[in-house]
Amino acid sequence: MSYDVSGGARSVAARVCQIVFGRKRNVHGRARDEPGFIHRNGVAWIGQSVLVMSSHDAEELATRLRSLGVRVAMVPVTIPRTSLVAFQRPRASHA
């Protein structure tokens, strides 16, 4: 999946980042993590606006992004899970 946010749509770009990468919120004085799509099992962030994931997750993310006016392109690909390890990024520890 690839997505593209219009350059002038800063508030949309910020929301897309929250959906894709997650965010931390302070609710009633307590920090709360809201994981993004990249934290789901089987999702690989390849690079700038490009992710690999199951078709179910891709459809869900595409629906959310399109509702914000974001352009989304999806194509089916087959990549062995063992090859996706090359794109894994270290997970932040949550102490």
Beta strand 2-4 pairing with 71-73: antiparallel
What residue ranges do the domains of the chain occupy? 2-87
CA dihedral 9, 12, 14, 20 (to 10 degrees): -130
Q: Has residue 88 got a pLDDT over 80?
A: no
- pTM assigned to the model: 0.81
Whether residue 26 is predicted with pLDDT greater than 80 in this model: the reply is yes
Give 49's pLDDT tier (boundaries 50, 70, 90): very high
- Reported as a pLDDT band with limits 50, 70 and 90, residue 42 is confident
The whole-number pLDDT of residue 95 equals 45
- pLDDT tops 90 at residue 7: no
pLDDT score at 83: 85
CB 3 within 8 A of CB 65: yes
